[in-house]
Amino acid sequence: MSAGDTQPAAQFSFAVRHAKRPAWALIGERLLTALIYACGISAIFFVLSIFVFVFKEAAPVLFSDRFDLRQFLFSEQWYPTSEINKRYGVLAMTAGTFSVTALAMAIAVPFGLGAAIYVSEFCGPRLKETLKIIIELLAAIPSVVWGFIGLTVMSKLIVQFTGAPVGVNILNGGIILALMSVPIIVSIGEDALKAVPDSYREAGIALGATRWQLVWRVLLPAAKNGLLAAVLLGVGRAVGETMAVLMATGHAVKIPHSILDSVRTLTANIAAELGEAPADSDHYRVLFLIGVLLFTITFFVNLAADMAVRGIRKK
Amino acid sequence: MPSETHIEIRDLRLAYGTREVLHGISLDIRRNEIFGVIGPAQSGKTSLLRCINRTIDFSPEASVAGTITVDGEDVRGAKDLYALRRKIGMVAPLPVGLPLSIYDNVAFAPRCAGMNRKADIDAIVEQCLRQAALWDEVKDRLDSLGTKLSGGQQQRLTIARALSHQPEILCLDEFSIAIDPVTTMRIEDVLKDLRKNMTIILVTNLTQQARRLADRTMFLWNGEIIELGPSDTIFGNSPRDRRTYEYVNGLFG
Amino acid sequence: MFAETPFVRDKRRSETTAKWVFFAMAGSMILPLLLIVVFLFVKAAPSLRVDFLLDIPRRGMTEGGIWPAFVGTIYLVFISLAVSAPIGILAAVYLNEYARDNWLNRLINLAVINLAGVPSIVHALFGLGAFVYAARFGYSILSASLTLAIMTLPVIIASTREALASVPMSFREACWNVGATRWQTIRSVVLPNSISGILTGVILQVSRAAGETAPIMFTGAVFFKAVQKGDLFAYNLNEQCMALSMHLYTISTQVPGVRESVPFATAVVLLGSVLLVNAAAIALRAHMRARKKW
């Protein structure tokens, strides 16, 4: 303390007050800040350019008179390589995407939410950490490995247990997609449950509710927006998944009648045919048009999920 | 008694969104005085400080009207905002040791200002740590983390950091809230010493602290100045406003 | 006096039932997977030797190893990382440190969410249209890596943002109070204290990029490419390469007569690498939690 008195504070105030940052530092900081802003805005740029580039390749066929948008959306006839009777109807593939996604969600939503509830409400901290790590690792499994599992393991099991002639079908794709969507649903769902204030739980328990009632009457209603977002993101992932369904659902372009029918999804169709369609042919452009369709579907699914999440934050 | 005006505030209004927290306050703070600000929580004390060094800019929803001048220069038109902030030392209620070494905590501001001679910075670090009554405790471990110090030490480190850019004005915002009485007394001694070189604005929730230290005290309540005058009057038996008497004597707040 | 009343007993039972029901739901998602992984290993065992990794595919890809694909994946991953890491980290810095709550930034957030949600095959179409054709990079490692980079950008943005957000606001305020600019604050306090979180994001990007197939299938990955055994510098930026994920797809669907253990071993190598990389990220995160500086 006393030592400070011997050195008056004013002695070096001059030095700090008159210190100047070198010009290169000031200019460097300006440039870097500009770069940071540019990178921030780049996300918008990338999403827009994805749409623009995919749409640009699709546009010539979309606006040509050889092409009928209604036929594209509502016909199940897909004969892109036919010499005399070309048909570009994607209804069968839309049905394929829809059926596989629906089955996947029918499995993944109850199990995923159940697992989220277990992780968030019932298990001890140790087990919780372990389960979360396993779920994170599951989410990391590449889709081509999932497809491979569907093709080799799952299809044999399906043939064995159901007696279906082929094992690559809606059931196979649905199970694989369900397993792929579960990690997303669990982790987002667990976040949503974590966001429910503890006071709700305490109030519920104080009123003598069992944990079962607590889950049904208190937690699920309170976390419903977040859980909805979890489900929507699961749907988004399932609709957009490519490799797994390409390998696990078979390649039949027809409207399915049972879950043991093979189907082809929108994504798998692009992956299967893009390599063979000559660049700039109508076939090639229609595949890009399917890309535009997929972009639009997932855009709205993600938008809805985002709005659901925003809903919880506002509260 | 000092009398030259150092900070002049005229009709300062501050609103967060539509909620106005300062309703047009005007006051002068004199050079080299200790200026006490007392008042219950949510009175706008911290907001006032943030207007002076313009860290209010970091709250995007805040809108400010009125003028504040420091040394006759309007802070809202400050040419070099960072130089303005260096003119004003700010100590927050909770001690914040930056996750840097003790040395770097104090050297941070001079370096940001553009100083880079090791000898100059060494001198500043030593002097500021001495002024904050921390030097003897940490001189052997200047390269250990500032965040690992005890609460009281961190608060003195915060003060050392606020002094490191050699401010003309030192604002202390309820600095004793998180530290023990012994450390508080040590810092109060430091403040009495520092006033020779700077103007000190002491925002405090402990009315007795203002009484011990401040030359003049302002009682701020709900964004309005209830009373401003020599501490003897404010803390005496007959302040002008009855509410001042009641607050100072613990009848509310 | 404190004996269970029937009501309390029912309540306790329902509690236990609930717990087990949810446990079963969690378990039924996880257990089969563990079994599948074990099954993959068992089937792959006959081929799993070090030489499998270093050798090139032989006899029309029906036998031999996976070296060209393995090296190709390394190329793709690191080039895409070199592009997406700086952009992603700076974008996250913008979003967490500079952005205010206005329409532009809501739009950016929405864009990031959508970038993550766009199907991988649409990224492939974009890469084909933008990099292969428009930018004239052709079918090449460069086109494929850039496509992967844009696709994995959200991974880095999300984890960097989380890391930056975990640095307490009070540190920033303390810096601003002593006259530090935003960038000085970020450089000296915010970034050094979120570096492990950022690294975690980078590692996750690596694992994601290594596993992706669709985006590279039409932009730069190729069925087969002749490469020297064990050659680490097998490819140029402007030529096509093999990739592990693509190779797995090819030999399990397109090539007849492959020895059974080969695709399984390929799957195990791919899965193993991805899981190892992820485990590294998890370990890093645990490590950083253990030695927090505040």
Contact residues on chain B for A16, CB-CB shorter than 8 A: 86, 109-110, 113, 115, 124, 164-166
Domain harbouring A187, CATH code = 1.10.3720.10
Question: Mean pLDDT throughout A215-241?
Answer: 86
What was the pLDDT predicted at A2?
A: 42
Token digits for A238? Answer: 């399932």
A153 → closest Cβ in C39, C150, C218? C39
Do C177 and B84 form a contact (C-beta atoms < 8 A)? no
Mean pLDDT taken over chain A: 84
* Confidence band of A3 (pLDDT split at 50, 70, 90): very low
B130 → closest Cβ in A4, A19, A25? A4
What was the pLDDT predicted at A200?
A: 86
Q: Are residues A166 and A306 in the same domain?
A: yes
Chain C partners (3+ C-beta pairs within 8 A): A, B
What was the pLDDT predicted at B39?
A: 86
* Confidence band of A7 (pLDDT split at 50, 70, 90): very low
> How close A66 comes to chain C (CA, Å)?
23
> How close B92 comes to chain A (CA, Å)?
22
Q: Are residues A98 and A171 in the same domain?
A: yes
B82 → closest Cβ in C173, C179, C189? C179
> How close A229 comes to chain C (CA, Å)?
12
Q: Across the interface, do C91 and A40 touch by the CB < 8 Å criterion?
A: yes
Examine the pLDDT at A37 and tell me if it is beyond 90.
yes
What was the pLDDT predicted at B195?
A: 84
Q: Are residues A58 and A98 in the same domain?
A: no
For residue A167, being part of any structural domain is answered with: yes
Q: Across the interface, do A9 and B198 touch by the CB < 8 Å criterion?
A: yes
Probe site for chain A from C36, C73, C87, C122 (most A CB atoms < 10 A): C122
Q: Are residues A58 and A179 in the same domain?
A: no
Q: Are residues A156 and A286 in the same domain?
A: yes
For residue A160, being part of any structural domain is answered with: yes
Residue range of the domain that includes A44? 13-63
How many beta carbons lie within 10 A of that of residue B7, not counting itself?
21
| Minimum Cα–Cα distance from B83: chain A residue | A17
Domain count, chain A: 2
Edge-to-edge strands, sheet with B62-70: B19-30, B5-16, B62-70, B73-74
User: What is the tens place of the pLDDT at every residue in B38-62?
Assistant: 988 888 888 999 998 888 888 878 8
Query: Of C48 and C189, which is predicted with more confidence?
Result: C189
> How close B232 comes to chain C (CA, Å)?
32
Q: What is the per-residue burial (b if ≥16 Cβ within 10 Å, else e) of A203-232?
A: ebeeeebbbbbbbeebbbebbebbbbbbbb
> How close C138 comes to chain A (CA, Å)?
13
C273 CB-contact burial (10 Å; exposed 0-12 / middle 13-18 / buried 19+): buried
Q: Across the interface, do A12 and B120 touch by the CB < 8 Å criterion?
A: yes
What was the pLDDT predicted at B32?
A: 87
A34 touches chain C (CB under 8 A): no
* Confidence band of B201 (pLDDT split at 50, 70, 90): very high
Classify the C-alpha dihedral C35-C41-C45-C47 as positive or negative. positive
Q: Are residues A43 and A174 in the same domain?
A: no
Q: Across the interface, do A47 and C134 touch by the CB < 8 Å criterion?
A: no
> Of the ranges B128-137, C11-20, C128-137, which one carries the lowest mean pLDDT score?
C11-20
Local structure of B94: helix, strand or coil:
coil
What was the pLDDT predicted at C123?
A: 93
> How close C227 comes to chain A (CA, Å)?
23
Q: Across the interface, do A136 and C282 touch by the CB < 8 Å criterion?
A: yes
Query: Of C84 and B249, which is predicted with more confidence?
Result: C84
What was the pLDDT predicted at C148?
A: 93
What was the pLDDT predicted at C143?
A: 92
* Confidence band of A9 (pLDDT split at 50, 70, 90): very low
Pairwise CA distance, residues A277 & B23, whole Å? 72
Question: Mean pLDDT throughout A276-292?
Answer: 87
User: Where are the strands (E) in chain C, listed by range?
Assistant: 57-58, 63-64
Q: Which single residue is written with the structure tokens 């002695």?
A: A11
Contact residues on chain B for C175, CB-CB shorter than 8 A: 98, 108, 112
Token digits for C276? Answer: 């190892």
> How close B231 comes to chain A (CA, Å)?
27
Examine the pLDDT at A80 and tell me if it is beyond 50.
yes
Examine the pLDDT at A8 and tell me if it is beyond 60.
no
Q: ipTM of this predicted complex?
A: 0.87
Q: Domain residues of chain C, as ranges?
A: 72-243
Averaging pLDDT over each range in A88-97, A192-201, C15-24, C112-121, which range is the top one?
C112-121
Q: Across the interface, do C108 and A40 touch by the CB < 8 Å criterion?
A: yes
User: What is the tens place of the pLDDT at every residue in B4-37?
Assistant: 888 999 999 999 888 889 998 999 999 889 999 9
Q: Are residues A38 and A91 in the same domain?
A: no
Examine the pLDDT at A293 and tell me if it is beyond 50.
yes
User: What is the tens place of the pLDDT at every residue in B106-153?
Assistant: 999 999 888 888 888 898 899 899 888 888 888 898 888 888 888 888
Q: Are residues A93 and A33 in the same domain?
A: no
| Minimum Cα–Cα distance from A186: chain C residue | C26
H or E element, residue B5: strand B5-16
What was the pLDDT predicted at C5?
A: 78
| Residue of C144, C216, B65 whose CA lies nearest to A275 | C216
Examine the pLDDT at C1 and tell me if it is beyond 70.
no
Mean pLDDT taken over chain C: 85
* Confidence band of A6 (pLDDT split at 50, 70, 90): very low
Range 228-287 of A in CB contact (< 8 A) with C? 233, 236, 239-243, 246-247, 267, 270-271, 274-275, 279, 287
For residue A70, being part of any structural domain is answered with: no
How many beta carbons lie within 10 A of that of residue B26, not counting itself?
13
Q: Which amino acid is at B75?
A: V
What was the pLDDT predicted at A135?
A: 85
Q: Across the interface, do B53 and C180 touch by the CB < 8 Å criterion?
A: no
What was the pLDDT predicted at C185?
A: 92
Examine the pLDDT at B212 and tell me if it is beyond 50.
yes
What was the pLDDT predicted at B95?
A: 82
What was the pLDDT predicted at A106?
A: 92
DSSP C255: -
> How close B87 comes to chain A (CA, Å)?
8
* Confidence band of C293 (pLDDT split at 50, 70, 90): low
What was the pLDDT predicted at C38?
A: 87
Question: Mean pLDDT throughout B243-247?
Answer: 87
Chain A partners (3+ C-beta pairs within 8 A): B, C
B131 → closest Cβ in A9, A13, A25? A9
| Minimum Cα–Cα distance from A136: chain C residue | C278
For residue A3, being part of any structural domain is answered with: no
Q: Which domains does chain B have, with CATH numbers?
A: 5-248 (3.40.50.300)
> How close A315 comes to chain B (CA, Å)?
19
| Residue of A184, A135, A148, A241 whose CA lies nearest to C269 | A148
Pairwise CA distance, residues A297 & A310, whole Å? 20
Q: Across the interface, do A17 and B86 touch by the CB < 8 Å criterion?
A: yes
Question: Mean pLDDT throughout B169-188?
Answer: 85
**CATH code at C72-243:** 1.10.3720.10
Radius of gyration of chain C (CA): 24
Q: Are residues A153 and A242 in the same domain?
A: yes
CA distances to B59, B82, C51, C181 from B14, rounded to whole Å, are 11, 22, 73, 24
Question: Mean pLDDT throughout A200-215?
Answer: 81
What was the pLDDT predicted at A312?
A: 55
Q: How many residues does chain B have?
A: 253
User: What is the tens place of the pLDDT at every residue in A231-267?
Assistant: 888 898 889 888 888 888 888 888 888 888 888 889 9
User: What is the tens place of the pLDDT at every residue in B161-174?
Assistant: 998 888 889 999 88
Do A173 and A244 form a contact (C-beta atoms < 8 A)? yes
Considering the entire predicted model, what is its pTM? 0.86
Examine the pLDDT at B210 and tell me if it is beyond 80.
yes
C72 CB-contact burial (10 Å; exposed 0-12 / middle 13-18 / buried 19+): buried
Q: Are residues A95 and A25 in the same domain?
A: no
Q: Across the interface, do C120 and A295 touch by the CB < 8 Å criterion?
A: no
Pairwise CA distance, residues A167 & A84, whole Å? 34
Do C200 and C281 form a contact (C-beta atoms < 8 A)? yes
Contact residues on chain A for C104, CB-CB shorter than 8 A: 41
Percent of chain B that is helix, strand, coil (3-state, to 5): 40, 30, 35
Do B54 and B78 form a contact (C-beta atoms < 8 A)? yes
Contact residues on chain C for A122, CB-CB shorter than 8 A: 18-19, 22-23
Probe site for chain B from A2, A11, A16 (most B CB atoms < 10 A): A16
Probe site for chain C from A35, A39, A90 (most C CB atoms < 10 A): A39
Question: Mean pLDDT throughout A166-181?
Answer: 88
Q: Are residues A49 and A129 in the same domain?
A: no
C181 touches chain B (CB under 8 A): yes
Classify the C-alpha dihedral A124-A127-A129-A131 as positive or negative. negative
B113 → closest Cβ in A5, A11, A16? A16
Alpha helices for A118-154 (secondary structure H) = 125-140, 143-149
Query: Of C143 and B238, which is predicted with more confidence?
Result: C143
> How close C205 comes to chain B (CA, Å)?
28
Examine the pLDDT at B191 and tell me if it is beyond 90.
no
A12 → closest Cβ in B83, B124, B194? B124
A190 touches chain C (CB under 8 A): no
Q: Are residues A55 and A113 in the same domain?
A: no
For residue A164, being part of any structural domain is answered with: yes
